[in-house]
Amino acid sequence: MRRDIRPRIDSGLCTRCGACVEICASELLVMGEDGPEATGRGPCFFCGHCVAVCPENAVQLPDTTPSQFKDLLHPEQAAGVDSVWDLLRRRRSVRRYRDEALPEDIIRRIITAGTLAPSALNEQAWHFTVLSDPERLLRIRRRIVAIFRSLLKMLEGRVNRMMLRVMLGSETADMLMEMQPMVERLVEAYDEQQDCILWDAPTLIVVHSAGDDTAVIESSHYAVGNMMMMATAMGLGTCLVGFVTEAAERDSRLKEYLKVPPDHSVDASLVIGYPAVEFLRSTHRMDPPVEFD
């Protein structure tokens, strides 16, 4: 957290409406005799809400520029509920891509959309690694298949399975056994020159963060949610690749191939590209278990 941040108020512009004071959840901004001042309880958690609500543009937050605070569309011009429903329904895990590279500016826009997500303590501690070199992507797939092959070896025979239970605990061992048919299928597909891991997508984006703070990891997931929605709005397809995320956490060589520093946790991985498939309708969802008090 940036504890020493204090917004500056332009007293020439300020009309003392009090909106910035009211919005400041940390109670750092208080109304003084000459207008708002940053002398309250604090600390500032750099949320930028005081700038975002000031009708006179009189608040300046250190370490930010005015251009970072974008004017919002009038609610009547903004996406209506129906468009949002459609966007949410339109997003699919795309597993067929056109053989076409994504321009860097498009990828940057999608990542910027990711950074508009909420993050714990507004830390924005996410990192994004964009991998598009076909050689590297092939190396990543090859490494994952090698990991899968050794996993399948460990699952061979009763004795191995029993040892696995002792070594990993029965919950993890059961999970691995449940995954066995899928892992076998992925290895088989690889041997048949099919890519059922990265789905022949032109780009893989890895979201990672320093350490293993669960709140930071959770924040990365929200960023990925935004990225998937923005990609969908731009006519692109995405697919999360849990295999990459999971395997990278356990295999330092794969982490190196993903260009993720050793002391970072791999929070999410998603492939992205131009879809080679058009969905005509949304997919089914089960009724969620919901309880109200």
Ligand X SMILES: Cc1cc2nc3c(=O)[nH]c(=O)nc-3n(C[C@H](O)[C@H](O)[C@H](O)COP(=O)(O)O)c2cc1C
Q: State how far the Cα of 227 lies from the Cα of 204, in Å rounded to an integer.
A: 13
Q: Please report, as residue ranges, which positions from 17 to 46 form the binding site for ligand SF4 (by CB under 6 A).
A: 17-20, 23-24, 26, 28-29, 35-36, 44-46
Q: State how far the Cα of 258 lies from the Cα of 237, in Å rounded to an integer.
A: 21
127-131/203-210 β-pairing: antiparallel
Q: Please report, as residue ranges, which positions from 115 to 134 form the binding site for ligand X (by CB under 6 A).
A: none
Q: Find which of ligand SF4, ligand X, none residue 169 binds, CB within 5 to 8 Å per kind.
A: none
Q: Find which of ligand SF4, ligand X, none residue 240 binds, CB within 5 to 8 Å per kind.
A: ligand X
Per-residue interface string for the shown chain with ligand SF4, residues 53-82, x marking contact by CB under 6 A: xx-x-xx-x---------------------
- Single out the residue of 6, 89, 90, 92 in contact with ligand X (rule: CB under 6 A): 92
Q: State how far the Cα of 157 lies from the Cα of 43, in Å rounded to an integer.
A: 59
Q: Which is nearer to ligand X, 87 or 240 (CB)?
A: 240
Query: Exposed, middle or buried: residue 230 (CB in 10 Å: 0-12, 13-18, 19+)?
Result: buried
- Single out the residue of 242, 259, 261, 277 in contact with ligand X (rule: CB under 6 A): 242
CB of 27 to ligand X, least distance (A): 38
Q: Find which of ligand SF4, ligand X, none residue 49 binds, CB within 5 to 8 Å per kind.
A: ligand SF4
Q: Find which of ligand SF4, ligand X, none residue 17 binds, CB within 5 to 8 Å per kind.
A: ligand SF4
Q: Please report, as residue ranges, which positions from 93 to 112 form the binding site for ligand X (by CB under 6 A).
A: 93, 95
Q: Which is nearer to ligand SF4, 26 or 129 (CB)?
A: 26
Q: Which is nearer to ligand X, 36 or 226 (CB)?
A: 226
Amino acid at 98: R
Spatial strand order in the sheet of 127-131? 127-131, 203-210, 264-273, 237-240
Q: Find which of ligand X, ligand SF4, none residue 23 binds, CB within 5 to 8 Å per kind.
A: ligand SF4
213 Cβ partners below 8 Å, 6+ apart? 120, 125
Q: Which is nearer to ligand X, 74 or 285 (CB)?
A: 285
- Tokens 């699919």 found at: 92
Confirm if 198 and 245 have CB atoms less than 8 A apart.
Answer: no
Does position 67 bind ligand X by CB under 6 A? no
Helix axes 134-154, 242-250, angle to 10 degrees: 70
Confirm if 224 and 118 have CB atoms less than 8 A apart.
Answer: no
Q: Does an H or E element contain 264, and which?
A: strand 264-273
Alpha carbon distance, N-terminus to C-terminus of the chain:
36
Q: State how far the Cα of 148 lies from the Cα of 138, in Å rounded to an integer.
A: 15
CB of 65 to ligand SF4, least distance (A): 15
Does position 9 bind ligand SF4 by CB under 6 A? yes
Interface positions with ligand SF4 (CB under 6 A) = 7, 9, 14-20, 23-24, 26, 28-29, 35-36, 44-50, 53-54, 56, 58-59, 61
